[in-house]
Structure 1
């Protein structure tokens, strides 16, 4: 599969602060990548470097297998890395015409891209009458005018209400389904889990994980447990190598599995050990639980 962007040992320092540290990952064509991490983890800095708006300290990156210069490569990129910045008293269509002139793109693209983001019926309305969600959707339409091979979005749902968040996520899925590669930075685990096929997890500028989202959350899951003999149950779990991590919160025991085990087999084992369970639920680990385990290991 063709590489869209390859980052090798990228580092960025701001004085004594290292914002990005020895970061490496590759973005392949046709996937949706999420750079996931809390605020200050280096997400926006990484995007700024590959978009040539932030200078790297060392390391390198190359677009499209290094076959074109960064300047030419960026003509094939659509990006929104700051709040949408349009003329408030001009209509959506008038604002997009200006963008078409700057990018050297035909005006015929305007209707097409407004349709993608669901704003055709509001094209003749002034930008200052738009809600925050509509402004963000117009920004996405603007970034798509040059039919980019990759669309880069920095915190695309920041500040939006639940309806706006849902609309943006559905638009991202539709754009990806049309074959456009997408790279988005987010601190929202839920966003990455719902929208992305691949994830790069950052913490304080360092990569903790890079790979498929489904592989990250394809653990053996965990049991939620309660029993009358709670202390006996905890001791039994801690001495059993089938479990890698035991947590107790508000009387509920969470036991993470190291290997596959059915709830029925576990219930039988506990019964044989003289422990009667009053609560037994098997669950799959969410991206959030995986993320917390990753970051807990570094504390």
Structure 2
């Protein structure tokens, strides 16, 4: 197996008495889209700042590309947007990107290629100051892609954008990921993480609440919605099930939550053996949002 692009071990950051990041560990492997999800003030930006060498850590370790190179060398293979895009207002999109190429020693041929990816090729000769916020953000992404980075880091990429702008940025993220670039994005929007990420790290007040796949987070906690002619008998039978965690009655149906993974067929068989015939049985999965609320309220 290839060594991870980024490894973070027991990272801590204190600002005086405030612990912004408490013991965060994470491994980022090639070809995935990772989301760091959490409300504002949860330590997302601080964590990104540390690995990008703009914030000093208090303790812990991180290494890029299996630790084979110094951080400043490794960062040449990283594209990042952690501040609002900063370009020259009276220069065109193309001129601004050529300037970035000049500073970083990149061939100018990359400019059109990256403008194409972010859907700005038609506007390449327009001045930056005429761009909408969404276009400015897309130009920033193009700029971060000029050096063909192995990983692209985005901090709240859709902040402040209108629905159309948000949609465009998400499409671009998916496109970049499909071309093999690994992406790490920080967001407080569940919807964003659910739609574009394969993996998620949930942070609250600097602590990890969940670290794994998005599907794993959604899948591991579901419940059954059941209904039978004799609801009292059904509820009683469920109460005797060895794995039952709790039942909740809502709108004439009973929601049964189990401690361990229980499948529908086994549950149906268990009830039939007790002469209970269901007229309704549905496995409900918690959305990422419900999961997130469950996690952050604990």
TM-score (norm 2): 0.88
RMSD across aligned positions (CA): 2.6
Q: Which moved further from structure 2: 62-71 or 227-236?
A: 227-236
Matched, 1:159 2:170: no
Q: CA deviation at 1:84?
A: 1.4
User: In the alignment, what sits opposite 2:126?
Assistant: 125
Q: Quick one: distance in 2 between partners of 1:16 and 1:250?
A: 49
Per-residue deviation, 1:294: 2.5
Of 137-146 and 211-220, the range deviating more from structure 2: 211-220
1:253 to partner: Cα distance: 5.1
Which shifted more, 134-143 or 159-168? 159-168
* Corresponding residue of 2:217: 216
Corresponding residue for 2:44?
Answer: 43
User: C-alpha separation between the residues in 2 aligned to 1:99 and 1:251?
Assistant: 63
* Structure 2 counterpart of 1:82: 83
1:135-182 alpha-carbon deviations (Å, 9 max, x no partner): 111110010001111100011111222222221111111111111111
How many angstroms apart in 2 are the aligned matches of 1:239 and 1:150? 51
Q: Which region of structure 1 is more displaced relative to structure 2, 19-28 or 268-277?
A: 268-277
Determine helix, strand or coil for the equivalent of 1:282: strand
Alignment of 1:64-83 (within 5 A): 64-83=65-84
The secondary structure found in structure 1 opposite 2:283 is strand
**Does 2:244 align with 1:269?**
no
Report the more deviating stretch, 161-170 or 34-43.
161-170
Determine if contact 2:85/2:137 at 8 Å carries over to the other structure. Answer: yes
Instruction: Name the SS for the 1:34 alignment partner.
Output: strand
Other-structure match for 1:196 = 197
Farther-moved stretch of structure 1 (175-184 vs 261-270): 261-270
What is the Cα deviation at residue 78 of structure 1? 0.4
Q: Does structure 2 retain, via aligned residues, the 8 Å contact 1:263–1:282?
A: no
Cα gap change, 1:291/1:240 in structure 2, threshold over 3 Å: closer, same or farther?
farther
State the shift of 1:43 in Å. 0.5
Query: How many residue pairs get matched?
Result: 296
SS of the residue aligned with 1:217? helix
Cα deviation 1:78-121 (Å, max 9, x = unaligned) = 00111112122221111111211221111111000000111100
CA distance in 2 between partners of 1:15 and 1:228 (Å): 62
Q: Report the equivalent of 1:98.
A: 99
In 2, Cα distance between equivalents of 1:260 and 1:243: 10
What is the match of residue 207 of structure 1? Answer: 208
In structure 2, relative to structure 1, the CA distance for the partners of 1:238 and 1:46 (3 Å cut) is farther
User: Are the equivalent residues in 1 in contact too, given 2:153–2:184 (CA < 8 A)?
Assistant: yes
Aligned-partner Cα distance in 2 for 1:249–1:84: 49
Answer whether contact 2:226 2:278 (CA < 8 A) is retained.
no
Structure 2 regions of 5+ residues with no counterpart?
none
Paired residues of 1:176 and 1:182 also in contact (CA < 8 A): yes
Structure 2 distance, partners of 1:102, 1:238, is: 69
SS in 1 for 2:5: strand
How far the C-alpha of 1:263 sits from its partner, in A, is 7.4
Distance 1:168 1:267, change over 3 A: farther
| 2:9 is aligned with 1:14 | no
Distance 1:234 1:64, change over 3 A: same
How has the CA–CA distance of structure 1 residues 89 and 230 changed in structure 2, closer, same or farther, with 3 Å as cutoff?
A: farther
- Is residue 263–residue 280 contact of structure 1 (8 Å, CA) maintained in 2? no
Please give the per-residue CA displacement for 1:19-39, whole angstroms capped at 9, x wherever unaligned.
000111111111111111111
| 1:226 Cα deviation after fit | 6.5
- CA distance in 2: counterparts of 1:163 and 1:115, whole angstroms: 18
Aligned twin of 2:35:
34
Report if aligned partners of 1:86, 1:127 keep a CA contact under 8 Å in 2.
yes
In 2, distance between residues paired with 1:246 and 1:207?
29
